[in-house]
Amino acid sequence: MMMSVAQAAIPWTFQPLPPQPPIPDENPQSQAKIALGKQLFFDPRLSVTGTHACQSCHNLAAGGEDGRAQPVGVYGRTGRRSTLTIWNAAYHTVYNWDGSAQTLEQQNQRHLLDPKVMGMADGYQLAARIAAIPEYRQQFEQVFGEPGVSFANIVRALASFERTLVTADSPFDRYLRGAEQAISTQAQRGFETFIEQRCASCHFWVNLAGPQPGLALQQGQGFYELFPNHPGTDYERRYRLAEDIGRYDYSQIDTDRRMWRVPSLRNVALTAPYFHNGAVKTLDEAVRVMAKTQTQTELDEAQVADIVAFLRTLSGEFPTIDLPRLPATPGRTAVAGHD
């Protein structure tokens, strides 16, 4: 398909989302492993109380997050930062708002043991609980061989399933492939404004979150941006944007104060509220906040509407995901006394 002159001028740093994210050599995909990871993703027995599954905060029936300003984990404990979407997460080079996890496997480890998320005391406790369920024990042995159930294998299976959570073929993807009518004239104008206003300095490449693994950065190397970049605005005070000092809490490196891993803009119209503290409720307001705090720009309402129209074209095709049947424990509970 021939591209128009306008399409031919699109920077090479914008590319359609590939159908499959990078797969690490140490955790190759298999259909059996993906199916096992899917069961685990929906199983609340992975939490200490038996009340929370990965699905509880990463809702696959919606935007892959929970729609809250802060997530609620076991015992009603509230997390500090808003939930990032799990859709297309496998295209990132690091995970969490502060880049504290280098791989999907490590992210799962941290969430399973986080007292404000799944709350397991340690990996041995979780592995023992899962190993006590006969069907799970058989599945793990079939997928991983002996010894089968282990904390490492639990997170490997979860990550394998999560690498299938891809929303490809958005209107913007089709536009990048040459279908000029895939997005409206207003959205095309918004894309041009997005570039002119330097939004694309951070939000570029396939996930609109900076380089994917293997492009400039390797897995475990983060792509970060200062936020707020221009402190002291009314938006900063209104939405408390600088109260959390970002990656510094994890790294303890002075230059990491208010540094954040750049989040993906894919499906961003479906993942309100916005920013690390979930303080901004609407997409148009989030656009105004970013323009003012990052580039000291006051956008007019037409520019905001155009950029929002463009951002809505980033919502992809969601795959159908049927609820899995979970292995049973007939006549007994797997979470008695919270282990």
Residues 294 and 268 in one domain: yes
Say yes or no to pLDDT of 292 above 90: yes
Residue 254, number of CB atoms within 10 A of its CB: 7
Q: Is 3 annotated as a binding-site member?
A: no
- Within a domain: 18: no
Q: Are residues 297 and 240 in the same domain?
A: yes
User: Domain of 125: which CATH number?
Assistant: 1.10.760.10
Q: In angstroms, rounded to a whole number, what is the distance separating the alpha carbons of residues 294 and 166?
A: 29
Q: Are residues 149 and 91 in the same domain?
A: yes
Asked if 68 and 84 touch (Cβ cutoff 8 Å), the reply is: no
Residue 300 in any domain: the answer is yes
Structural domain span for residue 207: 167-312
State the total domains in the chain.
Answer: 2
For residue 94, what pLDDT is reported?
Answer: 98
Is residue 64 assigned to a domain? Answer: yes
Note whether residue 15 is domain-resident.
Answer: no
Residue 10 covered by a domain: no
Domain match, 138 and 230 both: no
- pLDDT band of 1, cuts 50, 70, 90: low
Residue 259 marked in a binding site: no
Please check whether residues 192 and 125 belong to one and the same domain: no
Query: Residue 2: which pLDDT band, with cuts at 50, 70 and 90?
Result: low
Residue 41 within any structural domain of the chain: yes
**Is residue 290's pLDDT more than 80?**
yes
Q: Are 191 and 224 found together in one domain?
A: yes
199 is in an annotated binding site: yes
Mark whether 116 and 157 lie in a shared domain. yes
Whether the pLDDT of residue 339 is over 80: the answer is no
Does the annotation place 57 within a ligand binding site? yes
pLDDT given at position 331? 86
Are 240 and 183 found together in one domain? Answer: yes
Is residue 176 domain-shared with residue 280, that is, in the same domain? yes
**Tell me: the pLDDT tens digits for 6-56?**
566 677 899 999 999 999 999 999 999 999 999 999 999 999 999 999 999
Q: What percent of the chain has pLDDT over 70?
A: 96
- Asked if the structure places residue 231 within a domain, the reply is yes
The tens digit of pLDDT for each residue in 293-331 reads: 999 999 999 999 999 999 999 999 999 999 999 999 988
In a domain, 228, yes or no: yes
Does residue 171 sit in the same domain as residue 298?
yes
Q: What percent of the chain has pLDDT over 90?
A: 91
Structure tokens at 123: 């990996």
Q: Are residues 209 and 306 in the same domain?
A: yes
Is position 120 annotated in a ligand binding site?
A: no
Say which residue, 2 or 221, is predicted with more confidence: 221
338: annotated binding-site residue? no
- Give residue for tokens 């207003």: 186
Cross-strand pairs, 72? 78
202/88 same-domain check: no
